[in-house]
Amino acid sequence: MDLQATVLRQLKNRREGFSLEQPFYIDQDYFKLDMETIWYRDWLFVGHDCEIPRAGNYFTAQIGDYPVVMVRGKDQVIRAFHNTCRHRGHRVCTQARGASAKLVCPYHQWTYDLDGSLVFARQMGETFDKSEFGLKTVHCESVAGYIFICLANEAPDFAPVRASIEPYMKPHRLWEAKVAHQNTIIEKGNWKLVWENNRECYHCAANHPELCRTYPEAPTATGVQGAGDDPFIAEHWARCEAAGLPSEFKMDPTGQFRTARMPLIQDAESYTMSGKPAVRKPLSSEVPISHIGTMLLFHYPTTWNHILGDHAISFRVLPISAEETAVTTTWLVNKDAVEGVDYDLEELTHVWNMTNDQDRSIVEENAFGIRSPAYEPGPYSVGHEGGVMQFVEWYTTFMINRLQGDKARLT
């Protein structure tokens, strides 16, 4: 039986409000289908402009089977390329990041300009035409300090993403921030389990003592109902919007991305144990007030974010296999903030390092239980897990639309 037809049937007959069936979380072929249908075709957040502040700075990423490299050109434009040499395919950039006037393949030193064009290939004969062998480009867009790429030949329209993210993110000036810290953890669970766990705070009180000092566990903060009837959130939005900071909950009609500025608990300003700012210099000079809470930005399938007054934290999800996912966390601060003077790195990173580790353990135990032949889809809490239901709904609809579209094209 053809896999696509099976998956389509399972998704269409899915019991609404329930978790997915087992193979969606553990099966290699289902994973491959996720990669081909979502990851190789849609926009993915890969990193920040400020990770490559100067011409020749680059960083690499592995998206399923595709090694890619993002590089800032002499014209300051950020471009993305397939990181596979046009000679015999060696990875051109073998490090996680670096700086170089040209990109030189270590195998036989074919040399590419920062715009991807091949400028040097030793002794390839008179008739060799360098212009035919530039690095293959990957669609690349930078918005308010966030770099998105798309591996498809034809990328979906990026304009709606830009229009939604830009006004919310711009006041925070993240394109000129500084990376204070970055780490990557591997969670032994399917990428959808990482997301499902992230999309609810039903688990927070019992699992995240550090985060719960400042982040509200109420579903209004994490879910998709916006302010609900919470006057505290409505007041927060009114105050922030009056100060020129777009804040109201806004979700794209497809459900793929959304923004909202949520208040933290009581007087908390930052994700520290005390709730006080971890960084003495505010993140952005364009934010005129304090106590702005956390700007939440979600874009499926790669990123969730918290932007605070004193720092920002981005999270990048990249699947490794059916049961392994890499989560990269980046802490951004004002570019002039000095470690040890304006902030203490341990204080800045403590809460989310703890929270990430707790979430990793949850995801891994969840994956363990799902591997059991006794597992069957279970019901989400409507009150607390609306965000998870929305994620699964997005996944299901997206897969059905794409798989049906592909079928229509083939017949």
Could you say whether residue 204 binds ligand 3BY (CB under 6 A)? yes
Q: Which span sits near ligand 3BY by CB under 6 A: 137-145, 196-204, 245-253, 369-377?
A: 196-204
Using the Cα atoms of residue 316, residue 142, residue 221 and residue 348 in order, give the sign of their dihedral. Answer: positive
According to CB under 6 A, which one of 148, 304, 343, 395 is a site residue for ligand 3BY?
304
DSSP 166-178: HHHHGGG-GGG-E
222 binds ligand 3BY (CB under 6 A): yes
Please compute, for residue 318, the number of CA atoms within 13 A of its CA located in the half-sphere on the CB side.
22
Contacts of 159 (CB under 8 A, 6+ apart): none
Task: Tell me how far, at minimum, the Cβ of 388 lies from ligand 3BY, in Å.
Answer: 11
Among residues 39 and 271, whose Cβ is nearest to ligand 3BY?
271
Transcribe 210-264 into DSSP letters: TGGGTS--SHHHHSSSTTTT-HHHHHHHHHHHHTT---S-EE-TTSSEEEEEE--
Phi-psi region of 275 (alpha: psi -120 to 50; beta: other; left: phi over 0): left
Integer Cα distance of 73 and 60 in angstroms: 15
Q: Site mask, ligand 3BY, residues 336-365, x = CB under 6 A?
A: -------------------x----------
Least distance CB 268 / ligand 3BY (angstroms): 14
Pick between residue 67 and residue 156 the one whose CB is nearest to ligand FES.
Answer: 67
Note whether 201 binds ligand 3BY by CB under 6 A.
Answer: yes
Query: Of these partners, ligand 3BY, ligand FES, Fe ion, none, which one is at the site of residue 110 (CB under 5 to 8 Å by kind)?
Result: ligand FES
Q: Which is nearer to ligand 3BY, 198 or 270 (CB)?
A: 198
In angstroms, give the least distance from the CB of 132 to ligand FES. Answer: 15
Cβ-based nearer residue to Fe ion, 51 or 359? 359
Measured CA to CA, the distance from residue 175 to residue 236 in angstroms comes to 26
Alpha-helix runs per DSSP H in 261-383: 345-370
Q: Catalog residues that contact Fe ion under the rule CB under 5 A.
A: 359
Shortest distance, position 242 Cβ to ligand 3BY, whole Å? 25
Residues forming contacts to ligand FES in the complex (CB under 6 A) are 85, 87-90, 105, 107-110
Q: Which residue of 164, 182, 198, 328 would you call a contact of ligand 3BY, by CB under 6 A?
A: 198
Detail the DSSP E strand segments found in 30-169: 44-48, 57-63, 66-72, 78-82, 97-99, 103-104, 111-112, 118-120, 137-143, 146-150
The number of residues that bind ligand 3BY (CB under 6 A) is 6
- State in angstroms the smallest separation of the CB of 184 from ligand 3BY: 16
User: Of 193, 222, 188, which Cα lies nearest the Cα of 205?
Assistant: 222
Task: Select from Fe ion, ligand FES, ligand 3BY, none the partner in contact with residue 222, using the beta carbon and a kind-dependent cut-off of 5 to 8 Å.
Answer: ligand 3BY
Q: Which stretch binds ligand 3BY (CB under 6 A): 164-172, 181-189, 198-206, 226-234?
A: 198-206
Work out the angle at residue 111's Cα, subtended by the Cα atoms of residues 110 and 116, and round it to the nearest 5 degrees.
120
Residue 410, judged by CB atoms within 10 A of its CB (0-12, 13-18, 19+), counts as exposed
Q: Most distant CA pair in the chain: distance in Å?
A: 74
Q: Which does 90 bind (CB under 5 to 8 A by kind): ligand 3BY, Fe ion, ligand FES, none?
A: ligand FES
Which stretches of the chain bind ligand 3BY, using CB under 6 A? 198, 201, 204, 222, 304, 355
